[in-house]
């Protein structure tokens, strides 16, 4: 088992990496890290001494004063190197750098110097370093106005604001889960690569991305439709967009119900993407689910009976509770990385329609069981 510690464990990439490593408990033992460790020699040494691998992600990306960014990033890496020396660590250290290394800005310089400093430590001590030069990263739960323009656009479009394009250039992008998968492969390989260029997976103009996000807002947020998702990039972008919706106030969404002397008719979903539809009945008191997905898009639609749908982000204690009643048919969509369930809380059978955007594959189910 490989013992892995992540500086910046609670950050954008760090949290995705930490949660993904948790899917493989027989391969990886996650060593807990807190940002305060980098300012406390004793606690930092204790952390470092436990790790076979350290993924150094802790850094400052944005600040009004570029010098503060530079000084902070240099200092964080210097503190880590000092601990590696004090503990005589032979850990494999993977550091995240940036394609901005070659640009004339203090952020890029700070990342390059930090990477080169760790390479120097490895050469002197017999340790191992992989310096990952990473393109622009986007994905769910990124911090708007900080991590990427994609995060900013998604936040604005889900919070009644209007995005503005400053420069409509071509941008090389990688989805955060693709980056995490690449990092895990480097951890498993365990080979020093002082300057490893992580290849971007898509190149888009800023305006192309904004066009897609605006389409998601109009179709999904305003009309409840699933938009056309023709590529893996578009699925990833849509899941990124969905992560910025305020689920507490947006769901459950009530259907439009048409009634006449024959009974009732409800349109459950309009699809610009495929997948499969399932129907279930659940007897009173029974709970289904208690699992989460890392990529799948899923809708629970209650059409008869009373249900409690619960969601919880897997690294949070906060539960979201939604009560649905078939007398007013409604749906809740499941965000990625949220464990979810549905319970019959009524006195009669519960009727639920489930839609998911992928055909079920038992060899790649993307379904992980965790109690809400």
Tens of pLDDT, residues 139-185? 999 999 988 999 999 999 999 999 999 999 999 999 999 999 999 99
Those residues with Cβ within 8 angstroms of residue 349's Cβ, 6 or more apart along the chain or in another chain: 281, 282, 283, 284, 304, 305
Q: CA nearest 101: which of 88, 90, 110, 89?
A: 110
pLDDT per residue as tens digits for the range 46-104 = 999 999 999 999 987 778 788 988 898 899 999 999 999 999 999 999 999 988 888 77
Around Cβ 275, how many Cβ atoms within 10 Å?
A: 17
Q: How many residues does the chain have?
A: 372
Residue 369's alpha-carbon distances to 168, 250, 359, in angstroms, are 42, 25, 19
CA dist., res. 48 & res. 28, Å (int): 16
pLDDT score for 60: 78
Domains of the chain: 2-138+173-202 (3.40.50.720), 247-369 (2.60.120.10)
The gap between the terminal CA atoms of the chain, to the nearest Å, is 28
pLDDT score for 147: 85
Percentage of the chain modeled with pLDDT above 90: 85
pLDDT per residue as tens digits for the range 302-342 = 999 999 999 999 999 999 999 999 999 999 999 999 999 99
Residue 103, sorted as left (phi over 0), alpha (psi -120 to 50) or beta, turns out to be: beta
pLDDT per residue as tens digits for the range 110-119 = 999 999 999 9
Over residues 24-38, mean pLDDT? 95
pLDDT score for 59: 86
pLDDT score for 150: 97
Residue 322's alpha-carbon distances to 248, 285, 319, 370, in angstroms, are 9, 16, 10, 19
Interaxial angle between packed helices 149-157 and 232-242, expressed in degrees from 0 to 180 and rounded to the nearest 10:
60
Asked if residue 17 has pLDDT above 90, the reply is yes
pLDDT per residue as tens digits for the range 181-225 = 999 999 999 999 999 999 999 999 999 999 999 999 999 999 999
């Amino acid at each position: 088992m490989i013992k892995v510690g992540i500086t910046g464990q609670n950050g954008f990439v760090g949290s995705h990496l930490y949660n993904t490593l948790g899917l493989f408990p027989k391969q990886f033992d996650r060593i807990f890290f807190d940002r305060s460790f980098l300012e406390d020699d004793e606690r930092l040494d204790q952390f470092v001494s436990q790790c076979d691998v350290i993924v150094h992600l802790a850094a400052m990306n944005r600040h009004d004063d570029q010098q503060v960014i530079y000084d902070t990033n240099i200092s964080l890496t210097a503190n880590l190197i000092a601990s590696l020396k004090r503990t005589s660590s032979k850990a494999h250290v993977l550091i995240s750098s940036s394609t901005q290394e070659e640009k004339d800005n203090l952020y890029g310089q700070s990342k390059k110097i930090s990477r080169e400093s760790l390479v120097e430590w490895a050469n002197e001590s017999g340790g191992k370093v992989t310096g990952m030069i990473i393109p622009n990263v986007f994905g769910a739960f990124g911090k708007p106005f900080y991590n990427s323009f994609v995060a900013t656009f998604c936040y604005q479009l889900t919070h009644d604001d209007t995005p503005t394009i400053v420069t409509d250039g071509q941008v090389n992008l990688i989805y955060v889960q693709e980056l995490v998968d690449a990092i895990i492969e480097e951890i498993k390989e365990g080979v020093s690569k002082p300057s490893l260029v992580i290849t971007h997976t898509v190149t888009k103009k800023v305006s192309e991305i904004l066009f897609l996000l605006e389409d998601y807002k109009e179709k999904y947020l305003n009309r409840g439709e699933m938009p056309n998702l023709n590529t893996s990039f578009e699925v990833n972008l849509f899941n990124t967009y969905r992560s910025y919706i305020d689920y507490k106030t947006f769901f459950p969404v009530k259907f439009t119900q048409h009634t006449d002397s024959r009974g009732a008719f409800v349109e459950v979903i309009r699809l610009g993407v495929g997948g499969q539809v399932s129907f279930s009945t659940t007897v009173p008191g029974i709970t289904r689910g208690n699992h989460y997905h890392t990529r799948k898009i899923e809708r629970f639609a209650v059409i008869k009976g009373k249900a409690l749908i619960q969601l919880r982000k897997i690294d949070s204690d906060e539960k979201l509770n939604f009560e649905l009643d078939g007398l007013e048919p409604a749906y809740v969509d499941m965000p990625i990385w949220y464990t979810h369930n549905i319970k019959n809380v009524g006195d009669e059978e519960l009727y639920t329609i489930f839609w998911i955007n992928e055909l079920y594959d038992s060899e790649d189910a993307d379904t992980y069981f965790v109690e809400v």
